[in-house]
Chains A and B, each alone.
Chain A
Amino acid sequence: MAARCLISIPNRPDFPRRCPGGNAVTDTTTILADTRARITAAPDVEALRAIEREVVGKDGIVASLLKSIPGLPPEERKGAGQSANQLKQAVLAAIEEREASLGSAALDAERRADGFDGTLPPPRVERGTLHPVTQVTRELEDLFTSMGYMVLDGPEVELDDYNFEKLNIPADHPARDTQDTFYCSSPGSRASLLLRTHTSPVQVRAMERLEPPFRAIVPGKVFRQETTDASHEHTFHQMEGLVIDRNVSVGHLIGAMKTLLRGIFKKEIEVRLRPGYFPFVEPGFELDARCPFCTDGCSVCKRTTWIELLPCGLVHPNVLKAGGLDPEEWGGFAFGLGLSRLVMLRYGIDDVRHLLGGDLRFLDQF
């Protein structure tokens, strides 16, 4: 029998050692049945590949069968070749079928997704934030630059001259009292220095530097010597606006302020001007806006339905002169927006001290 054993079988314990008896056709039938059983039982694609190598690989069963053909009697050769090929085709087909079924089972398992809970909290997204004052400042800058205003910057440590004298507030002027100024000393300097009490000093600095007509805004930090509480800070942010042109009237000022408020509150806002005293404008106004938060009084407007929003006025002729402009030829208007206040209104912030306090729990909210 041994001499009839034509094919070499890999020396593997799980492969039944057998020497196919009878003719080659019978032999391949047994091998096929055997192999099919193993394919059906194969647990994964890897096992299938192993079976594939054993049977149809370079040195596999089919190759051995084909190699043995020349030694067969001529009348058997054709049949042996055919059955070897049939074996190969049948095994490959069985493997393919089994592989497809294994694949879909894996997909099914993936689709079952046992134990998944979509309501588990996701990881926290860490993010950075822009300070709310920056955000509101940018919004206003964009609004104003779209209307041809420049954005200017000015020093926080300012000369008395620009903060007061050139703004028509001489040394003995009672308005100086209401400004609660931080006066400063700088080693080696004899200049009269202070922390600017408003962004208005940039009015004269702008007139000195720019050719009229021009339009400008100046966002920035300002300082007042006062006791702090939830609604008072010694440091806060303002935005100055200045328009210098010929024949500028109170009517233009009202028009510009209404445009500004539409930009801020995104709706038409009724305004009223009433006299307000600021030495660097004449006439000077307080601009009240109809409370955007209520119709019949609320805590923001202190039940009056008006909120005092911004001081403004026509630039005082003395200020024009201080800036080197001829008040007979040039005029203009100026306004001051309380940025800190606007930020508080916008977000409903109840304590102004949060703005510069640097508390992460505050900053993280914007």
Chain B
Amino acid sequence: MFISMKWLARHVDLTGITPEQLADDLTLSTCEVEGIERFAPHMSDVVVGHVLEREQHPDADKLGICRVDVGGDEPLQIVCGAPNVAGGQRVAVATIGTVLPGDFKIKKSKIRGVESRGMICSVRELDLGDEHDGIWVLPEVSEGPLTVGQPVAAALGMEDWVIEVDNKSLTHRPDLWGHRGIARELAAIYERELLPLDLELPKLGDGEPVQVRVEDPACSRYLGLAIDGASNGASPDWLRQLLLAVGQRPIDLLVDLSNFVMLDLGQPNHAFDRDQLAADGIVVRKARSGERMTTLDGEERELVESDLLITSGGAPVALAGVMGGEGSKVGDDTGRLLLECATFDATTVRRTSARLAHRTDSSARFEKTLDATLPAAAAAHFARLLQGLQPEVSFPCALADAGDWADPARSIHLRGDVVRRDLGVELDDAAIASILSRLGLTPTEASGGFDVAIPSARALKDLTMERDLVEEVGRIHRYGSVPEAPLVGAIEPPPFDRRRQMVRAVEDRLAGAARFHQVLSYSFTPDDLLERTGCASGDFVRADNPVAPDMARIRREVLPSLLGLVESARRERDVVRLFELGKGYRPEEAGEDGMPREVHQLAMVLALPPAASDASFDAGAFFQLRAAVDDVISAAGVTPPAWAAAETAHPAAHPVKQVAGSWSAELEGCGFVASIEPGVARALGLEGELASDVAVAVLDLGALLAALPSPPTYRPLPKFPMVKVDVACVAPSEMPAADLGAMIEKAGKGAVRDLQLFDVFRGEALGEGKKSLAYHVVLQSDTKTLTDKDAQKFLGRLERSLEQQGAALRR
């Protein structure tokens, strides 16, 4: 919102206060000032000129040659095409070298053979309005003709500063959406008087009042003031300039006054041409479905049942609080008008303006919730201003005043001790009372503090409790004068947080020894990515208003986010290792409160160039990732689970090349490690040059937390030597290595200290459907030195158990 310093000065004396200081003080006490700018800076660059005479250009009918005195040694010759230029006028002259809006630099020129040394400006050329049918004839001021040669801004008293305030910092202060509200703050800050403003209605006639019927509670008050005998036209310069300063285009007097009142007091209002309204007056009601109206911007708008309408003769004449209608707007010949000052429900106005994507100065104010006493002040203000300009206007009848409203003014008890406690300052009661009074809040001493009278304008949502008044005192006293204080009280280390410790351990291990890059991704997963990764099924939480239509789904799991990165990452490098610790949401497992279950997952992706045909059995991405997964689970302080092929694989997982981990039948599975589903790999573009050996893993952090912790412990170093035995087992192809490993462990009767698979072999020599797995086995006892005989016994036991399972020991 823009605030004009000159406008403010109508309400409070700002003598001696620079715009910079004012901006700083507002920022520190009231609201955030985003910038200050000189109003119409080019008005200081053009000078007052006196047109001495105009003669016809010899070669062009429409051009005149003017001699203009701009205070120099001799008059300037300026060629000018405006029809309204005439000798004797005071005009705005841009001399050679002046730069006008639009970076238009004035140069010496020849127009149809006649030299021209400057330009006589129109209103539009100075960015002061839309009129361009002639030059701007400067007005007379009361002191007589304007002094020739001085800057126009100074001559007309147009020097002004514009302060831009961040609207967000005014969200809770509807009273600051007008200059008088800001002026009240400044009066409090600078301890100056807020100048009185006459807000009494002029004398009203005793004619029949306009009929107003309010049929919907979304309008709590509707006030209609009938005015006769107005003559519309251009506004006086002071009014135009103030409006221009705050970024409003002057239109005509009646519209300008309406805007002025809104920008002065914060109360939107609307002037209807009363002749265009039906004789039965005004009805305020909700729109009917299918109803349409043309708003004064010429747009035909379809209405919905939540829109609040001002109607007359059954037809809409205004969209309440948002915009007037085309048919009843005031025009050049409007003499009889009805001024609407009303209070509309914030949510209703917000909904309508949001639906139409059309926010207006009016809707922005109603959205802040305005109090119902304000329309009376606004109506009086408008009437007084108009009467001041056109004493002949009359007010033929009593105010129409309909609706069901109450004055929100209230009293709040404030304790001085609470102010001192909450702010942490020593401020006596007298100082507190002084600040409150300056803000227009009236304190009366009462039991240990004050009863503070809150005026209507601030009583609605702004000041409702004691703490609100503490803030009022604090901000005017200034927070900069609050002494810094240390927090006191026992500091204890926060309770141990295993989840956090686990998260850190996992992150550290993966980003450290395992050399993975940590990714943080969006919680939205694009539909297309879900389709390509095969993860689109299942219920999703969805955003009702997503950033893009295909980005509505909130992820159920983390893995697709990572898979979406593999293709571009593989373009960058051969080996891609990514992980993310994040959350997914499962609607089908909602809690009693209706919230979807939140799963906390670790997802990992490892992508390598395709393995060479002679690579060792454990060289591929799958086994590398399995190793990393076991390692990270250990790092998390948990014993790695047993891995076994799952009956149903994750949709992005290879149906065969996959294992799921679990610790026991009672505990939930911890997740899976898998090669990528070949179709998914292709859908992700991992083919041709980018063909990759990709493995993925997902671990559920909740399951890790539920698993038995296995804190690292010391194991005494062996006292007896070890015996190394190599064994080769021939087994049916489908027998899992895990089963063979278990058999070896069992045959060792607790003496197997280490077991390492070093070769996997399939070949004709073994026979159809057979494989050979060769292990280095380390046997060691805590109680004795093992001998060859012990090793032979071990091999015998192993051989027997292998044979029972249809396998054999290769001797």
Contact = CB atoms under 8 A, between A and B. Distances in A.
Nearest to B516: A128
Interface in A270-286: 272-277, 279, 282-286
A251 B554 contact: no
A133 B594 CA distance: 31
Given A130-B511, A188-B588, A360-B576, A251 B425 contact: yes
Contacts of A165: none
B543 A195 contact: yes
Contact of B565 (A147, A148, A221, A358): A358
A174 interface: yes
Contacts of B486: 252, 255
A189 interface: yes
A348 B542 CA distance: 34
A364 B517 contact: yes
A363 B515 CA distance: 12
Interface in B270-329: none
B422 A331 contact: yes
A243 interface: yes
Interface string A120-141: 0000001111110110001001
Interface string A320-351: 00000001000100000000000000000000
Interface residues of B, number: 97
Contacts of A223: 523
B465 interface: yes
- In this complex, the member of A130, A159, A185, A358 whose beta carbon has the largest number of chain B beta carbons within 10 angstroms is A358
Contacts of B722: none
Contact of A250 (B422, B487, B568): B422
Contacts of B369: 172, 174
Interface string B480-498: 1011111101011111010
A187 interface: yes
A221 B554 CA distance: 13
Contact of A190 (B482, B507, B554, B594): B594
A363 to B, nearest CB: 5
B628 to A, nearest CB: 10
A246 to B, nearest CB: 9
Given A249-B423, A255-B486, A277-B169, A172 B346 contact: yes
A251 B419 CA distance: 12
Interface stretch (A63-71, A86-94, A149-157, A291-299): A149-157
Interface string A220-231: 010101011000
A175 B171 CA distance: 7
A128 B590 contact: no
Contact of A316 (B170, B467, B507, B576): B467
B513 to A, nearest CB: 8
Given A174-B368, A277-B171, A356-B521, A188 B487 contact: no
A359 interface: yes
Nearest to A279: B172
A183 B497 contact: no
Given A130-B507, A186-B596, A245 B500 contact: no
Contacts of B565: 358, 360
Contacts of A255: 484-487
A187 B540 CA distance: 7
Contacts of B545: 182-183, 225
Given A178-B168, A186-B596, A190-B594, A355 B346 contact: no
Interface string B580-593: 00010101101001
Contacts, number: 251
Given A126-B575, A130-B518, A360-B576, A150 B494 contact: yes
The prevalent SS among residues of A at the interface is: mixed
B541 A186 contact: yes
Nearest to A153: B499
Interface in B500-545: 500, 504, 507-508, 510-512, 514-524, 539-545
B572 interface: yes
Given A128-B510, A186-B541, A157 B595 contact: yes
A38 B565 CA distance: 70
A189 B483 contact: no
B577 interface: yes
B322 to A, nearest CB: 15
B577 A128 contact: yes
A234 interface: yes
5 contacts: A129-B518, A130-B511, A190-B594, A221-B523, A252-B487
What are the 10 A-B residue pairs with the smallest beta carbon separation, nearest first?
A191-B594, A251-B424, A249-B424, A283-B471, A251-B485, A273-B479, A148-B491, A128-B511, A150-B494, A189-B594
Interface of B: 27-32, 168-173, 346-347, 350, 367-369, 421-425, 461, 465, 467-468, 470-471, 474-475, 479-480, 482-487, 489, 491-495, 497, 499-500, 504, 507-508, 510-512, 514-524, 539-547, 554, 561-562, 564-565, 568-569, 572-573, 575-578, 583, 585, 587-588, 590, 593-596, 598
Given A252-B487, A285-B479, A356-B522, 18 more contacts: A126-B575, A155-B595, A182-B543, A183-B543, A186-B539, A186-B590, A189-B594, A191-B595, A251-B425, A251-B485, A273-B479, A275-B169, A283-B470, A283-B471, A317-B465, A358-B519, A358-B565, A360-B517
Interface of A: 126-131, 133-134, 138, 141, 145, 147-151, 153, 155-159, 171-175, 177-178, 182-191, 193, 195, 213, 221, 223, 225, 227-228, 234-235, 237, 243, 245, 247-252, 254-256, 258, 272-277, 279, 282-286, 314, 316-317, 327, 331, 355-356, 358-361, 363-364
